Structure 1
Amino acid sequence: MDKSSAEYATSQKEMTDSGSMKREVKLVDATLLVVGSMIGSGIFIVSADIIRNVGSSGWLLMVWLITGIMTLTAALSYGELSGMYPKAGGQYVYLKEAYNPLIAFLYGWSLFAVIQTGTIAAVGVAFSKFTAYFIPQVSEDLVLFSAGSFKLSPAQLLSIVLIIFLTYINTKGVKGGKLLQTVITTAKLLSLFGLIVAGLFMAKADVWDANWTNAWSLQKLLPDGSFESYTMAAALGAIAAAMVGSIFSSDAWNSVTFIAGEIVNPKRNIGLSLFLGTMIVTVIYIMANVMYVSVLPMTEIATAEKDRVAVAAAQAIFGPIGTGLIAFMIMVSTFGCNNGLILAGARVYYTMAKDGLFFKRTADLNRHAVPEFALWIQAIMASVLCLSGRYGDLLDMISFVVVIFYVLTIAGIFILRAKRPDLERPYKAFGYPFLPALYILMGLSFCGLLIVYKPNFTWPGLIIVLIGLPLYYLSKGRKTE
């Protein structure tokens, strides 16, 4: 078979594997999906909690830098896996090939139960919070219904409406979801860039100098503005706790691997979009935090109302009009973020169903060549999580579980190099074996510190993962009947 025939056969096989999905997502679209899925509400909010944990501007930036290095390293490593297995499902497929269907199912189950749906819910709740600036009637502080400890607010209802609307848009084909993602992400990038430039231009010398006095003192910043020193062990725990927010804000970069069946030239474009997207976001996140410490004293960052650091920064830069500008910017950002998450996540459940490990109907494509049933059950699960209304709780549960599966996936590169040495690798992990090993070490350190010092950040997520064990064997039993 000549080269052109072999390439045609490979292309046909990929289309069969992806269930006749349409390859309509180009490199620019894929890169903007990475960027749009990563940038939601976190960068506008979580720096308040980070500064409370680390107590200095130097360590604030260091937390974001460490997270950025971890994210870039993981993205570069995933490039090898995406070139080897350019199929719908992405990380689920990589785990199945490197380990076994059980590990892959636990990831897919966790994605459905908390990782993807929990992120969709958290971003939806954030959208509602900032919409309330313009429409006070949808405030999270209002109560529509209560029963015991359960309370239903207009913000929760709005977040559910948003999820249902975006799900409906994505059931009409990948082209519409892709176009919406491209437009919204471009708008949010321009807005963020404008905010950063304006903030750096309006930087206050006295604020900057004060924030860089004792910039590398790692300490707890208390509500009254005083500081509390850490022991060495507690300091490590504080760094891990601070990174929960930055890792959550940097997550979902891998969503582009889920839609591999719809990407043009996936062996090249998935890996490249991962690198470009994560690099863009890492630079923006670090520069945004440089801007924060150039216009706001540390105590104002730590005590920003409802942790809305970006709102406080915009007020310092633009005056009273700044609050409205940033609220609108965050609405656009969270809207686009949720569109990307909703578009990508359903493809994993679709691939699981193809393996007989999820609801049978999830494996069906509608007339627009998208997994409509998978999209709707994802919407239902995310809506249920929205009813919790607790952004912080969802964030805490997600970060630990996410990093565990990232570590397992990157370790899979070592396993597959030994198990499948002859498999085609259009792209090889940059810096192998050092950089993948570095990520594994950093990821395990982060998770270990959370287990020891912040167990409440870990056990809910672990319980959710373990619930997947009986579900897996139940699915296997039904498959063999």
Structure 2
Amino acid sequence: APISLGGYAISLSMEQLVAIALIALLTWTNMRGLEIGKLVQNTFTFAKTAALAGVVVIGLSLGWGANSAARSSAWWDSWANGWSPQIAQPGFTFVGGLALALLFGKSMVGPLFAQSAWTNVTFIGSEVRDSGRNLVRALVVGCGSVVVLYLLANVAYLAVLPFSEIQQAPQNRVAVAAMKAVFGNPGAMCMAAAIMVSTFGADNGLILSGARVYFAMARDRLFFQRIATTNRFHVPAAALVAQGIWTALLTLPRTVTIDAATREVAYGNVYNQLLEYIILADLLFYLLMVVALIILRRKKPEAERPYRTWGYPFVPIISIALAGLLIVDLAFLAPATSGIGILIVLTGIPVYFAWRSRTLSSE
């Protein structure tokens, strides 16, 4: 039975067991060597990119063909009213000005998570040949491809579904609703399978790259020294295991809601809350990294710089301003989850100094 803790509970459902099994499988796979991890990543990246490209092609070609007159009308009607306020669902109210800007920033949590993996490739920079050139190429091509595909996918959704159906897509799965509109239930099932493939690939990428952060911390003597070791396959196996354990623990909490009328208890996952913890912390560190870049350029102008900063100093300043605005936005609209995210980051400060003093005293 779940262990209740206020509005949360600790449990172990079948869904959570599957998640933990997936974490264990991918952790073990990446412990077998970087080449195997790369093979898995490339395979699933190709599969999910092909699936998304398929959605784009189907939406833009077959979408208008299915019930052509109705689809064409829905498409043009959506754009005809594009600049006029529309009620998303009964009971919702119109907002504008600052309130709309704040809500827009809050709605960026999902897209920011989708884009946040752009930094993960830098975690394996020391294992990339000619990293000064290849990392930049990977970042530009990867981010550019994702942006183009996502934009085209949204155009495809609009070609298939009217605004109202996009707004009310079950569990916000617009791609599934779009494929169901074109192919019926078989299309929805195929799209659901493609989403699982995409999730598997994303999980592998996060596990492969994330462990390198643990490894780098330990190598700098800011974490357990055992984590700084590599196995016979020349990968940070101990770091992968530590990361796997922590990730598995994060799957255990669930939200608890009680129906006011029936008093029936329902359990949900904390996915959205974890996203808000992660995104705010990510934005905070993005901001600090760019600030550090400016400071280092002033303090050490003669230092070797294999990576160029395009548009310096304007691009870094714009990046700092946008990240700062989003941090304030999330802190204002989601103070509970954002506060926990900030608290988690701040607890790292005394831990850092404690570990650093311990390291210095042992020398």
Q: Shorter-chain TM-score: which interval? A: 0.7 to 0.9
CA distance in structure 2 between the aligned counterparts of 1:294 and 1:172, rounded to whole angstroms: 44
- Aligned partners of 1:311 and 1:323 also within 8 Å: yes
Q: 1:338 is matched by which residue type in structure 2?
A: D
**Structure 1 portions without partners, runs of 5+:** 1-144
CA distance in structure 1 between the aligned counterparts of 2:330 and 2:283, rounded to whole angstroms: 11
- Aligned partners of 1:346 and 1:378 also within 8 Å: yes
- Aligned partners of 1:171 and 1:375 also within 8 Å: yes
> 1:181 aligned to 2:41?
yes
> How far has the Cα of 1:441 moved from its partner?
1.3
CA distance in structure 2 between the aligned counterparts of 1:403 and 1:456, rounded to whole angstroms: 17
> 1:450 aligned to 2:326?
no
CA distance in structure 2 between the aligned counterparts of 1:195 and 1:366, rounded to whole angstroms: 41
Q: Superposition pairs for residues 32-51 of structure 1, below 5 Å? A: none
Change (3 A) 1:219 1:239: farther
Structure 2 equivalent of residue 311 of structure 1: 176
CA distance in structure 1 between the aligned counterparts of 2:172 and 2:212, rounded to whole angstroms: 34
Larger radius of gyration: 2
> 1:214 aligned to 2:81?
yes
CA distance in structure 2 between the aligned counterparts of 1:405 and 1:185, rounded to whole angstroms: 26
Q: Secondary structure at the match of 1:425?
A: coil
Q: Deviations over 1:345-398 (max 9, x none)?
A: 111111111111111100101111111010011001111111123221111211
2:311 to 403, 422, 431: 431
- Of residues 381-390 and 203-212 in structure 1, the stretch that sits farther from structure 2 once superposed is 203-212
- Aligned partners of 2:85 and 2:94 also within 8 Å: yes
> How far has the Cα of 1:200 moved from its partner?
1.1
- Of residues 335-344 and 291-300 in structure 1, the stretch that sits farther from structure 2 once superposed is 291-300
CA distance in structure 2 between the aligned counterparts of 1:361 and 1:151, rounded to whole angstroms: 31
CA distance in structure 1 between the aligned counterparts of 2:281 and 2:87, rounded to whole angstroms: 26
> 1:390 aligned to 2:270?
yes
CA distance in structure 2 between the aligned counterparts of 1:278 and 1:218, rounded to whole angstroms: 32
The aligned length equals: 335
Q: Secondary structure at the match of 2:47?
A: helix
CA distance in structure 1 between the aligned counterparts of 2:352 and 2:184, rounded to whole angstroms: 55
Change (3 A) 1:199 1:423: same
> 1:205 aligned to 2:85?
no
- Aligned partners of 1:237 and 1:454 also within 8 Å: no
Change (3 A) 1:378 1:411: same
Structure 1 equivalent of residue 257 of structure 2: none
CA root-mean-square deviation: 1.7
2:122 to 242, 245, 257: 257
Q: Superposition pairs for residues 453-472 of structure 1, below 5 Å? A: 453-472=333-352
> How far has the Cα of 1:451 moved from its partner?
2.1
- Aligned partners of 1:234 and 1:453 also within 8 Å: no
> 1:163 aligned to 2:23?
yes
CA distance in structure 2 between the aligned counterparts of 1:253 and 1:219, rounded to whole angstroms: 34
Structure 2 equivalent of residue 275 of structure 1: 140
1:404 to 279, 284, 297: 284
> How far has the Cα of 1:424 moved from its partner?
2.3
Structure 2 equivalent of residue 368 of structure 1: 233
Q: Deviations over 1:220-242 (max 9, x none)?
A: 733x3x65211422112111111
CA distance in structure 2 between the aligned counterparts of 1:218 and 1:171, rounded to whole angstroms: 53
Q: 1:221 is matched by which residue type in structure 2?
A: A
* Greater RCO, 1 or 2 (C-alpha within 8 Å, sep 6+): 1
Change (3 A) 1:179 1:206: same
CA distance in structure 1 between the aligned counterparts of 2:85 and 2:314, rounded to whole angstroms: 29
Structure 2 equivalent of residue 380 of structure 1: 245
> 1:331 aligned to 2:196?
yes
1:355 to 208, 216, 220: 220
Change (3 A) 1:399 1:444: same
Q: 1:418 is matched by which residue type in structure 2?
A: R
> How far has the Cα of 1:457 moved from its partner?
4.2
Structure 2 equivalent of residue 147 of structure 1: 3
CA distance in structure 1 between the aligned counterparts of 2:118 and 2:85, rounded to whole angstroms: 29
- Aligned partners of 1:167 and 1:376 also within 8 Å: yes
Structure 1 equivalent of residue 51 of structure 2: 191
Q: 2:12 is matched by which residue type in structure 1?
A: L
> How far has the Cα of 1:216 moved from its partner?
3.3
Structure 1 equivalent of residue 102 of structure 2: 237
> How far has the Cα of 1:342 moved from its partner?
0.5
**Structure 2 portions without partners, runs of 5+:** 65-70, 254-268
- Aligned partners of 1:400 and 1:458 also within 8 Å: yes
TM-score by length of 1: 0.67
Q: Secondary structure at the match of 1:229?
A: coil
- Aligned partners of 2:55 and 2:175 also within 8 Å: no
> How far has the Cα of 1:299 moved from its partner?
2.4
Q: Deviations over 1:422-478 (max 9, x none)?
A: 122234211222222211111111112222233234111001111112211221232
Identity %: 41
